[in-house]
């Protein structure tokens, strides 16, 4: 399947490329060093009108398709993966569950401010004892009259320090297993709700990663998202879309590493020749270019299937798995091509290398993707 971008998609690509080069790239190294969240970047993205890019215009969104979303994530990630993951999670994890499963009233109240950039979207699934095994959720929700009382904790949650409301899962009926897990929209300033941002991470330093602690947090009955007992299914469906975002991130990081490596190989002289004249380097660059092209097409195919209303679970898992693994290899080779300079922060590829690793872990590890694919092909 070959993709020719539509006029709208091509315009989004150019707009996001120009924005990434002009507004995101200049401060990326400094943010990585200081761990400063790119608040100013997101104020500018809000003015650009892309914070609700793939959501309906009636809720303040851009009415664009999933391929456009993937393009936006790729272009941001090409220069700063922390910005890329913040944007991707805002839409595919923060906004998507409300868009997919919320009532009209919930969308007006909670999706609209996400689309207009009033605050960032976040999503609480992972727990200290329930990572790949999302069915092992321990957080509980008890109905008391006309309100739910939620207690428990979540970990590795993106964007929660900058969210006013977020969706999360909790067990509403312990006797039903995963069919007893429900989803709720919870305000982050509710009494008993604490957001902690204490993680020391390997990479993605300018991304906000938090713990959530809920101690008898009460929310109105109408804050149930979707049907009671459907939270587990709803969040797994959300992750299918999220994997398109992670795949796009991986393509972006890999493209950034490749671009820097190709440039370096052309200007760096060794033994009287530029590095790009040596076949060993040519082959590394050829493999990078080939794998990035394949990964991008896989991400676009999964996005296209989603836009057509067709099944895309297998394709999203394949795209996320392949893109994240070739991204890690591309960043590894980028460091190698740069030699000793590749190990130094000044040349940026070591930042790409550190940032890339999470993509083989987040939103389902590579092992989980292989499990999903195996089930989809009938194993």
Structure tokens at 285: 């660059």
Q: Are residues 95 and 16 in the same domain?
A: yes
Q: Are residues 72 and 128 in the same domain?
A: no
Domain end position, chosen among 82, 116, 150? 116
Active-site option among 74, 75, 325, 363: 363
What per-residue confidence (pLDDT) applies to 212?
Answer: 97
CA distances from 192 to 160, 188, 195, 214, 226 (A): 15, 9, 10, 6, 24
Total domains in the fold of the chain: 3
Instruction: Check whether 3 has a pLDDT greater than 80.
Output: no
Instruction: Check whether 22 has a pLDDT greater than 90.
Output: yes
Instruction: Check whether 133 has a pLDDT greater than 90.
Output: no
Instruction: Check whether 1 has a pLDDT greater than 50.
Output: no
Looking at every residue in the chain, the average pLDDT score rounds to: 96
Q: What is the CATH number of the domain that holds 268?
A: 1.20.140.10
Instruction: Check whether 29 has a pLDDT greater than 90.
Output: yes
Q: Cite the DSSP H helix spans in the chain.
A: 7-19, 28-34, 39-48, 66-77, 81-89, 96-101, 104-106, 112-115, 231-267, 279-307, 313-338, 349-356, 366-376
Q: How confident is the model at residue 216 (pLDDT cuts 50, 70, 90)?
A: very high
Rounded to 10 deg, the angle between the 313-338 and 366-376 helix axes is: 140
| Structural domain boundaries enclosing 179 | 123-230
Query: Alpha carbon 343 to chain centroid distance?
Result: 26
The whole-model pTM stands at 0.96
- pLDDT tens, residue by residue, 300-350: 999 999 999 999 999 999 999 999 999 999 999 999 999 999 999 999 999
Q: Are residues 34 and 85 in the same domain?
A: yes
Instruction: Check whether 2 has a pLDDT greater than 70.
Output: no
Residues with Cβ within 8 Å of residue 209, at least 6 apart in sequence: 156, 157, 158, 197, 199, 201
What per-residue confidence (pLDDT) applies to 132?
Answer: 82
Q: What is the CATH number of the domain that holds 31?
A: 1.10.540.10
Q: State the Cα angle at 32 between 27 and 33, rounded to 5°.
A: 100
Give percent of the chain with pLDDT exceeding 70. Answer: 99
Q: In whole angstroms, give the CA distance from residue 13 to residue 73.
A: 10
- pLDDT tens, residue by residue, 143-194: 999 999 999 999 999 999 999 999 999 999 999 999 999 999 999 999 999 9
Do the domain assignments include residue 1? no
363 a catalytic residue: yes
Contact 368, 313 (CB under 8 A): no
Q: Are residues 140 and 41 in the same domain?
A: no
Domain end position, chosen among 210, 230, 250? 230
Q: Are residues 132 and 261 in the same domain?
A: no
- pLDDT tens, residue by residue, 269-295: 989 999 999 999 999 999 999 999 999
Q: In whole angstroms, give the CA distance from residue 185 to residue 123.
A: 9
Domain end position, chosen among 80, 100, 116? 116
Average pLDDT estimate for 6-12: 96
User: Hey, CA dihedral for 348, 349, 353, 356, is it positive or negative?
Assistant: positive
CA distances from 238 to 17, 77, 171, 338, 356 (A): 27, 21, 18, 39, 22
- Pairing between strand 209-220 and 273-274? unpaired
Q: State the Cα angle at 200 between 34 and 121, rounded to 5°.
A: 80
Closest CA to 79 of 109, 111, 41, 43: 41
Q: Which residues face 224 on adjacent strands?
A: 184
């Amino acid at each position: 399947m070959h993709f020719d971008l539509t006029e709208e998609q091509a315009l989004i690509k150019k707009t996001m490329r120009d924005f990434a080069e002009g507004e995101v790239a200049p401060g990326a190294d400094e943010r990585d060093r200081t761990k400063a969240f790119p608040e100013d970047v997101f104020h500018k993205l809000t003015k650009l009108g892309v914070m609700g890019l793939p959501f309906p215009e009636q809720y303040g969104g851009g009415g664009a398709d999933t391929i456009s979303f993937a393009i936006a994530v790729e272009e941001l990630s090409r220069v700063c993966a922390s910005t890329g993951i913040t944007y991707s999670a805002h839409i595919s994890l923060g906004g998507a569950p409300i868009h997919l499963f919320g009532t009209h009233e919930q969308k007006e109240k909670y999706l609209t401010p996400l689309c207009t950039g009033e605050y960032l979207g976040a999503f609480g699934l992972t727990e200290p004892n329930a990572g790949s095994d999302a069915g092992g959720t321990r957080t509980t929700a008890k109905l008391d009259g006309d309100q739910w009382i939620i207690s428990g904790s979540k970990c590795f949650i993106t964007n929660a320090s900058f969210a006013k409301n977020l969706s999360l899962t909790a067990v509403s009926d312990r006797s039903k297993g995963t069919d007893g897990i429900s989803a709720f929209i919870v305000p982050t300033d509710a009494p008993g709700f604490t957001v902690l941002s204490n993680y020391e991470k390997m990479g993605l330093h300018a991304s906000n990663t938090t713990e959530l602690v809920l101690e008898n947090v009460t929310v109105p009955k109408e804050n149930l998202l979707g049907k009671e007992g459907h939270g587990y299914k709803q969040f797994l469906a959300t992750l299918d879309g999220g994997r398109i975002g992670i795949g796009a991130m991986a393509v972006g990081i890999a493209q950034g590493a490749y671009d820097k490596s190709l440039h370096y190989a052309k200007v760096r002289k060794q033994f009287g020749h530029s590095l790009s004249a040596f076949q060993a380097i040519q082959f590394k660059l050829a493999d990078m270019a080939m794998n990035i092209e394949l990964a991008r097409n896989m991400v676009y195919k999964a996005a296209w299937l989603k836009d057509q209303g067709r099944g895309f679970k297998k394709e999203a898992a394949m795209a996320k798995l392949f893109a994240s693994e070739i991204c890690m290899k591309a960043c590894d080779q980028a460091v190698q091509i740069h030699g000793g300079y590749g190990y130094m922060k000044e040349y940026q590829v070591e930042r790409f290398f550190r940032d890339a690793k999470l993509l083989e872990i987040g939103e389902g590890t590579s092992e989980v993707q292989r499990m999903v694919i195996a089930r989809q092909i009938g194993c």
